Amino acid sequence: MQAFSIPSDSMQNTLQRGDRVLVDKLTPWFGSEPERGEVVVFHDPGGWLEDAATPEPNAAQKFLSFIGLMPSAEEKDLIKRVIAVGGDTVECKKNGPVTVNGKALDDKSFIFEGNSACDDQPFGPIHVPEGRIWVMGDHRQNSLDSRYHQELPGQGTVSVDEVVGRAVLVAWPVNRWATLPVPKTFDQPGLNAAAAAAVPGALGVAGALPLVFWRRRRLTRGRTAG
């Protein structure tokens, strides 16, 4: 586990500016990869944060970074929600919902109140290559996510090798304490038909470490941004 600071509003109301989240960095050792619906921290894939300033860390952040409980203040990472994974086709037309493999996502439980699914930046259809993910912020009208980087290598998708970990818990401030479960819409029948028959190879070691039961996948290091 490692703590990460949230410096932007791109994941409201799920995460607020100033929240400290705990990120599970353990499960990559079991060869896992990000899943739809998870909130993940990932390194800048290249060009996403070129114009983003890194906020000056306070004394507490510097100390926690020094002892390894927080990432270095110089690192620029992002935090978003995984919407689609390798092999998926994702799309969102103006006034419409986000669809994954033809299934509409009911995002009312997690996107910022008053936001549309993608009216500010419709997209797709996008076929997500294997080993990559499509990510979006929960505050859709205030998130420079995969939709806004389609002109870069990867066409807006992020390599799973860039993923640091899955955010599993809001740990601070105390009155914001909460787990970060996967919304039910990502478990709807037919959404993951192609992988329905797949059995995780690491299932045999699941009993050894309870953290494996958090539906994680692959991950690594960082500080969050827009």
Q: What is the pLDDT of residues 2-26, one digit of tens each?
A: 888 888 899 999 999 989 999 998 7
pLDDT digits (tens, 9 = 90+) for 45-96: 888 876 555 555 566 655 655 555 555 555 578 999 999 999 999 999 999 9
Domain annotation covers residue 220: no
User: Strands 178-179 and 103-104: what pairing?
Assistant: unpaired
Helix or strand holding residue 64 (H, E): helix 59-66
Please pick, among 10, 32, 65, 159, the residue that the annotation labels catalytic.
10
In the annotation, is 103 catalytic? Answer: no
Give bridge partners of residue 134 from the DSSP assignment: 84
Residue 157 CB neighbours (<10 A):
25
Question: How many helices, marked H, and strands, marked E, lie in the chain?
Answer: 1, 12
Cβ contact 183:109 at 8 Å: yes
Domain annotation covers residue 57: yes
pLDDT digits (tens, 9 = 90+) for 175-192: 999 999 999 999 999 887
Residue 196 has pLDDT above 50, yes or no: no
pLDDT score at 56? 59
pTM of this prediction? 0.78
Domain annotation covers residue 222: no
Instruction: Give the DSSP letter of residue 24.
Output: E
Domain annotation covers residue 41: yes
Q: Is 79 helix (H, G, I), strand (E, B) or coil?
A: strand
The more confidently predicted of residues 83 and 196 is 83
CATH code at position 45: 2.10.109.10
Taking Cα atoms as reference points, which of 145, 150, 105 lies closest to residue 124?
A: 150
Burial of 160 (0-12, 13-18, 19+ CB in 10 A): buried
Instruction: Give the DSSP letter of residue 206.
Output: T
Please pick, among 25, 32, 65, 80, the residue that the annotation labels catalytic.
80
Domain annotation covers residue 224: no
Domain annotation covers residue 140: yes
pLDDT score at 116? 95
pLDDT digits (tens, 9 = 90+) for 129-138: 999 999 999 9
In the annotation, is 80 catalytic? Answer: yes
pLDDT score at 219? 37
Domain annotation covers residue 187: yes
For the chain, give the percent of residues with pLDDT over 70.
72
Q: Which structural domain, as residue segments, surrounds residue 22? A: 2-213
Domain annotation covers residue 226: no
Question: Starting from the edge strand earliest in sequence, which strands make up the sheet with 123-127, in order?
Answer: 103-104, 98-100, 89-92, 123-127
pLDDT score at 161? 92
Question: Looking at the 3D structure of the chain, how many domains does it have?
Answer: 1
Least confident of 14-23, 31-40, 170-179, 206-215: 206-215
